[in-house]
Amino acid sequence: MRLNACLDIYYMNELLTDDMLERRFIPRFWKQFVAIAILVWLNACKSLGPNTLFRSSSPHEQYERSLKDAKLDQTALGADWVAAADRAMRDSVRISVPHRESGYFSASKPFAVGYRLNSKRGDRFYIQVDIQGMKDAQVFIDVFDLSGREPDRIVSAKADTNRLVWETRRSGAHLIRIQPELLRGGSYTISITREPVLSFPVKDRDSRSISSYFGAPRDGGRRTHEGVDIFAPRGTPLLASVDGIISGVGVNRLGGNVVWLSDVKRNLRLYYAHLDKQLVREGQQVSVGDTIGTVGNTGNARNTAPHLHFGVYQFSEGAVDPLPFVRLGSGPARQPLLSESRLGDSVRVSVTRAVVRQSPKPDAPVLQELPRSFAFTVLGGTAEWLRVELPGELTGYVSSTVIEPVDKPIRRLPIAGPTNLLEAATSQAAIVETLPGGMAVDVLGVVEDFQLVRSPNGQTGWVLRATQ
């Protein structure tokens, strides 16, 4: 209650600018009243802020706490689950939206993956994770803001759903982390798409009708454009972009006939200017798509073609760029999915040199170069780009055109004496079996000092080159 009152007083003071007083639909005494109110509430409000407010724990945090309460975090499997969640925050892959790809969860190895993307305030993202092979399995979806020193969780999917709708409140880098609960194995498909937060304000138009953008110079550089101009024939209906309340209907020198629409949910005020006609009254509640006026060229637009000047104003910040709030959505993700039979499969490099990239794009930054016959496991990706994990737990994407299955051996390797067949390409890996001397195995791939081999009985594993 106290916080809401603080925000209301602060918001009111920020919006009652001299320019709005000039527009004659806000009495001047309100400015004095707000100034006094701010002083009264200052001490009560100054300790409240986004970093000090209580917020509920996420399903992921609740699950991790349950592991600790049961002492499972002290087991190898529980500790690996916590470590996988932390690692996904550091070794995330980069994507652009729309994006979709398949992935694989192993029941025997805790897993998490982080997808890093750039977003703008005004974007609304739809995240959908479809699970195959894990009946009633819970998958945690969390979104983090990466603009600070430490990742800040801003939203999480509910415990009973694998879908999340997230609106960006601050532009910058964000990370989407998905992680299944322990002892669950199977495959998944993640799809991420983007739509604007606001409905487009001009009927039968979209952001391709915008001709003048936010920040453009005005009056010889004495001021800048605090909105976007959307051109349409005179009389074209202007539509409510949100469900809200008409907080102002008036006339001023620059905007001519204007309407203000308040979006209480997002702490926004939308400004419609140069209207030919105003078809709403102050205090009226409207829904998305309701007609609030028509396109004109009143005010300082009388010598230009009819258009809507559309502005977005946020509490404490004044005007913000409206374009991300109304620009065209990304449409559905269309990346061709990787065959489910390839998930968890072992493959090797089939060319002289292959590169691991940070994103599934041919111009993405290179993380590492791989030599011919280098072997790795496919964790996910698309039909064109495979998401892989390399030694050191580095993750990235490799083009599907430079890899081949490991079924066909590249050479035969004689075993001189007893040799340990290892589960992974590390000397600390578990021993699958001990191969006797005097036999030969098929070499299927290499990773640094290790070779992936197949014994005569069909068992595969890794052996140290130095032992041969």
pLDDT single digits (tens) 95-119:
999 999 999 888 888 989 999 999 9
For residue 26, pLDDT beyond 90: no
CA distance readout (Å), 379 to 111, 181, 298, 300, 394: 10, 17, 59, 59, 12
| Average pLDDT over all residues of the chain | 86
Q: Please state the pTM of the whole predicted model.
A: 0.82
Query: In degrees to the nearest 10, what's the CA dihedral of 415, 421, 425, 431?
Result: -150
**150-159: pLDDT as tens digits:** 999 999 999 8
Mean pLDDT of 264-288: 96
Domains, in order of start, for the chain: 1-54 (no CATH), 59-196 (2.60.120.380), 207-326 (2.70.70.10), 340-405 (2.30.30.40), 411-467 (2.30.30.40)
Classify each residue of 409-437 as buried b or exposed e, where b means 16 or more C-beta atoms within 10 Å of its C-beta: ebeebebeeebbbbeebeeeeeebeebee
Mean pLDDT of 276-297: 97
Strands 113-119 and 93-94: parallel
CA distance readout (Å), 122 to 15, 268, 279, 313: 20, 11, 27, 12
Mean pLDDT of 457-462: 92
**399-426: pLDDT as tens digits:** 999 999 999 999 999 998 899 999 888 8
Q: Which residues contact 36 (CB under 8 A, 6 or more apart)?
A: none
What pLDDT does 221 receive?
Answer: 62
* Residues, the chain: 468
CA angle 177, 66, 84 (to 5 degrees): 35
For residues 132 and 102, the answer to whether their CB atoms sit within 8 Å is no
What's the alpha-carbon Rg for the chain, to the nearest Å? 29
Nearest to residue 255, comparing CAs of 197, 339, 319?
A: 319
Residue type for position 8: D
For residues 354 and 402, the answer to whether their CB atoms sit within 8 Å is yes
**207-233: pLDDT as tens digits:** 999 988 876 667 666 677 789 999 999
DSSP 31: H
- Tokens found for residue 244: 């809200």
